[in-house]
Every structure is written in structure tokens, then in C-alpha cells.
A and B are shown apart, each in its own frame.
Chain A
Amino acid sequence: MWTSAALMLLLLATGCSLDAASRGPFGPEDPETVVPKRPLPAQLPTRHILEFSSDESPEHIKPKMAGSTLDAGIARSPNQEAVLSAADIAGLRTAAESDPRVATLLGERWGFIDADRVPPRGKVSFGCCRTTARFTRLTYFSYSHNVAVDVRLKDSTVLDASRVEGYLPPEGPRDVQRGIELARADRRLAGKVQGMEGHGLLMQPDRGFFRNDPGYGHRVIWITFSPGLGGDPKYWAQVDLTEDRVLDAGDEPPR
């Protein structure tokens, strides 16, 4: 009986969290290669003293290097080839979203996440040795199928579209917008969040011992409402975008 009790306690203590530990040990170490053993520096280097001073107003004011005086400008030149303009993205989205393969993968409910140019494979990339990058990747999340969808294009032709199982892309504008809409309409927050700014952040519910956390395995977003830019939430909601519903919501307790 005591063994069973101890085993139960151990299982409770270790739990079934998804939080992964780093793998280890890695495996045997190779012998050192036979290269000349050029001595390494005998002393640690000295470092400059650098501090930052910051304004604690809620505006988007960056911290400053303490004691600094600004100098004149520097040589800069835009790498236009490395990035996509809003017009580029709109054109690529039109091409992708009208492709039947993409439409099938996305299903009825989905959100666009973002788009990026795909640099040439290997070390030759944007910058000094850049070539005009013609390949792009669009990322979507299909709420209907609960999976990320990756679309590869060359110019405006869809080369490939595929499910990316297990990948949790960053929150896209649609994720945040839909999360805020659902949270604002929730009865627990009704009449409380008008005039407040809504924010959204992708979260990852945990696996449980007896049952999983609500929203486990789904696209879940943490929505907060705050009076302004200050990062000081007053109300919150946990929204399951896969099921298109609010899991829970309430007032933010005081610090």
C-alpha cells in the first residue's frame, strides 16, 4: 500500500507537463582532432561599462545608453530585395488564396500569419552577396483543421502548399483580432472593456495528469484589455481560436 501511495505521489510530483527538459547526455565525445594547439588567451578581456537610462512613461520611448552624446549619421543603404512591401504581400496572398490546393488546406476558417522572402540556401544570403530572391513563403493557420499551412511561391506562382504539423506560428493579425472580438462579446467582460485597448499573445496550454488544460493542442490566445499603452492589463480572456470560443475570462487581480 505504501509503495502504491509513494508511486502515486511520485507521479503527481513529476506530473505530465509538456515542459521539456533538454536532452542529455548527448553521447560520446570524439577525440580531439590533431591540429596544432595554438595557445588561447591567458586573461579574460576587459569590458566597457555600459548602462541604460529609461523614461518610464507609457509611450514608445526606447531606453538610452546612459551618458551618451549623439554623433553624426552613418553610411546606410536599403536592401530592397530582402523584404516584401505591403503591396507585394497583398499580391502574393491573392495568388495563394485563389489556388485550390491552398483553399483545401485552409478550410473554412483560417488566418494569414505572415510572408517572407526565402533566401538562397546556405551561406550566400541577403546582403553583400545577395541575389534577387524570387522565392517567398506565406504562413497561414487553419482553424478548421487546427494546423499551420506553409505556401511556397516563385514570383506569383504557387509551387507547393503543405501542412506543418505541430508548428505554432506567431500570432497573426487575424488571431488577435478574432480573439479580441470574442473576448469583448463574452458575458464575463460585458460592459467592462469598452474603450480599452485589446492585446493578444499566443499561449500553449499544458497537458494534464488526469485531464488536459482547456485548449490543449488548439490555437489558444491570451487576450488582455488595458487602458492604454502601459502594459498594465485590467481584464483577460483565454480564447480557443480552433473552437472559436472563449475558454475563460475575468478581472485581472491586483499586483
Chain B
Amino acid sequence: MRRLAVSALLLVCSLALPLPGSADTASEHVEWGAWSFDYEVRDNTGLALRNVTYGGEQVLAKASMPVLRVKYVKERIWWNPFTWFGSRADSGRCGPFQDRLRWQDLVPIVNCGNQKVCVERSTVKGMKWLELGIYARIGEYHIYQSWHLSEDGELRPVVQSRGLSCNTDHVHHPYWRFDFDINGNGMDQVFVRDDGGPDSGWGPGWKKYTNERNDVKNTATHRSWFVRDQLTGHGVWVLPGDGYSPLKDDGERDSFADLDVAIRRANPDEDLPWVFGARGQLGYDEDNQGVQEQDVVFWYVAHLPHMAALGPTKWLTLGPTLKIHR
């Protein structure tokens, strides 16, 4: 009986220990199904994926989330005319903030073996998924940033947030940066598609970006984007998120974060921690560089509204969908 109890105790202890190869490190190489990549938490860009390949072919050099800009609503005080318009107190009562997720901000995730980087395989409705996530505490915020990869080539960048820095409505604007290298770098094209749009030779509704641009979503035309390698035609869809309950979509841009996507020519000097401050928009557009058959970077910006009335414990979730097309 005693021997049985000792054995059971040893078994429980062994289950509580991390699995071999699951050490709590800030960078690892991962192979799963058709996917192969490295992940890393460094350089203030959250949990990033590097050297992403699918089916043996490169897709992304790097996918990261350099910043979550946070803007609290402006409060208008009836007796102070400077709060009525744009000047003074244009800020909310607190912020704005520029949240950048780093290793030092991460906490052990209680329901993922107390690891700082959660790597889990699961099955949802018959589809196999791999999840990589980090749980950051910044100020009062709880932020879970994750990547969800399906075995058939879907990649979901997701950010989930809760907590309040002050009891006022606010909006989180996560900026994802996708450095595409489809079938290697240098020959990528970027297209935008609108339902009912004209055919300029690429098919109905398709238009090619020729230069660096910012652009916005259009739900009426189901606007979506496609990045592909000119030589093979292999590509990746970038689809605006449908929102995860209770949100209905990836939110609405506003004057604080006034774009939804941006296309830039890749430049190593622009692969930096966020340099534009809490109040600055995405730059890197001064030279209007050509992006046709080039090494391109695609930025996606979502807008997560957080009503203070929801309280600090309600998770809100959003993010786009990337889908591999071969």
C-alpha cells in the first residue's frame, strides 16, 4: 500500500515537471505538421515568429507585434473650454500608452504548466491547431498575445486584453508586422480585392499596389488582401478579423490610429522596436518606394474597444486571419 502511494506521488511529481524540450526559453525552434519556425521574445516586439515555412516553402521572414497603442477617450469638462475641442486634455485622463511586450513582462501561465511561453497542440472540431502564447502584465493590463496555426495553413495572430489603467473607455490598437518572404524574398506582390471592383487584368475586383501605401478596411466590399510570390503564384491571404465574441470585427480606425493596413518595402533599418511613440502613427513611408516584385512588409492594425463598464476581468479578443494559398 505504502509502495503504491509512493509510486503515485512520484507519478504526480513527474507530471508536474516540464516536459523535455519545453524549457522556459525566450527562443525555440518548432516543427509541427507542415509548419516549421522559430519563435522569440526579444527586442520589444512581443512573441514573434521567424523563418516560417509551410510544406517546406518559406512564407514569412518574421511576424511580430511591435506595439499596442492605447488611447483613453477624451473627457469633456463643462466648465473647462480647453477640454471641449482638440487642445489640452486631448488625452484621456490617463495615457496614451505604447505597450511593448518583453520577456521581463511575462508571467507564468497557470493553465499552461506555469510556462512563460505556452506551446500547446489541440483539436477543435476535427482540425488540429498549434497555439503559441505569452501572458504579459504591463501596468494594470493583462495581455495574452498568441499565434494559432492550423494544420491546413491558417495562421491567426490574436491579442486578448483585460484590465484598466483608469476607469475610462479606451481603445487598444495592436500593430502586427508581417515581413513576407513567400518562396524566398524579393519577388513578392501585394494586391487588394473588393467585391464588385473593376478588372484591371488581375481578375474582377483585384488591384495591385505599386508603391508604399496605407489603406483601410471596407466591410461593404469584403475588402481583403493577398500577398504572393510572382514566380510561383503561391500566396497568403490577409483577411480582416470577424471578431471573437463579444466583438464583431477588428474594430474601427479613429484619428488616433487612422489606418488598417500598410504596405512597405522591407528595410532592415525599419525592423526596430516601435519608434513612433504613443502618439505617433506608423511611418517608414517617406520615400514612396515601389513594392512591386519586392521584399515587402505588410502591417495590420486592429482597434479593440474596451468599455470601462465591462470591468477589469472581461477578456476582449481580436486579430486578422492569414491563410496560405498554394
Q: What residues of chain A have their CB less than 8 Å away from a CB belonging to chain B?
A: 11-24, 26-33, 35, 37-42, 44-45, 47-52, 54-80, 82-83, 114, 116-117, 121-123, 125-129, 166-171, 173, 199-206, 208-211, 213, 222, 224, 226, 230-233, 236, 238, 252-255
Contact = CB atoms under 8 A, between A and B. Distances in A.
A24 B288 CA distance: 10
Contacts of B133: 62
Contact of B122 (A68, A123, A166): A68
B121 A73 contact: yes
B143 to A, nearest CB: 10
A236 B139 CA distance: 11
A30 to B, nearest CB: 4
A238 B285 CA distance: 34
B34 interface: no
Contacts of A210: 82, 87-88
A83 B42 contact: yes
B325 interface: yes
- Give the interface size bracket for B toward A: 35 or more
Given A17-B87, A40-B206, A231-B162, 12 more contacts: A33-B210, A35-B230, A47-B242, A56-B315, A75-B30, A83-B27, A83-B103, A128-B51, A203-B94, A232-B140, A232-B313, A252-B167
B226 interface: yes
B84 to A, nearest CB: 8
A157 B306 CA distance: 46
B316 to A, nearest CB: 10
A118 to B, nearest CB: 9
Contacts of B309: 255
Interface stretch (B9-17, B148-156, B170-178): B148-156
Contact of B285 (A23, A72, A76, A200): A23
Contacts of A30: 210-211, 290, 292
B255 A19 contact: yes
B167 A255 contact: yes
A14 B290 CA distance: 34
Interface in B206-224: 206, 208, 210-214, 222, 224
A21 B282 CA distance: 9
9 contacts: A14-B87, A21-B281, A26-B285, A70-B121, A73-B21, A122-B268, A125-B50, A208-B88, A213-B88
A14 B86 contact: yes
B88 A15 contact: yes
Contact of B111 (A61, A232, A254): A61
A236 B21 CA distance: 43
A120 to B, nearest CB: 10
B304 interface: no
A68 B124 contact: yes
| 10 interchain residue pairs of minimum CB distance | A231-B163, A15-B86, A201-B139, A15-B87, A209-B87, A127-B38, A27-B288, A68-B122, A82-B27, A231-B312
A36 B125 CA distance: 40
Contact of B29 (A48, A50, A77, A236): A77
A209 B84 CA distance: 13
A62 B154 contact: no
Interface in B94-138: 94-100, 102-104, 107-112, 118-125, 127-131, 133, 135, 137-138
